Amino acid sequence: QLQLVESGGGLVQPGGSLRLSCAASGFTLDYYGIGWFRQAPGKEREGVSCISSNSRVKNYADSVKGRFTISRDNAKNTVYLQMNSLKVEDTAVYYCGKCRAGGFWYATFDSWGQGTQVTVSS
């Protein structure tokens, strides 16, 4: 199965920006939808975004619409999540994994990586 490595997390102030990267190893991303979910202490896992294999379909959680943008560069075997206007509530460990863009996309994640910590604090 697909092996994925997340990077790009860090500490930012509210209103700041980060770009997360999800790099595949062992397999090409061309055949898979790839997305992001997050896990914060004491909270349920939340699907953040999913992009289809050909980038035709992009799904976002209501909580991040207008602030986050998912994209992919299949030539680099990498998926990105641009995070703007960050809020304290965005603090979580962010994971990327396989997903199926479309209906109930947020329930389709598997084969995720180790995660990267995003902390939003003043």
Residues 28-79 pLDDT 10s? 888 899 999 999 999 999 999 999 999 999 999 999 999 999 999 989 999 9
Report the pLDDT averaged over residues 89-115: 96
Cβ neighbors of 110 (< 8 A, separation 6 or more) are 1, 97, 98
- C-alpha dihedral over 94, 46, 65, 84, to 10 degrees? -20
Which pLDDT does position 91 carry in this prediction?
98
Which pLDDT does position 1 carry in this prediction?
63
User: What's the CA gap between 121 and 50, in Å, rounded?
Assistant: 26
Contact 80, 72 (CB under 8 A): yes
Which pLDDT does position 30 carry in this prediction?
87
Contact 82, 19 (CB under 8 A): yes
- Percent of the chain exceeding pLDDT 90 equals 89
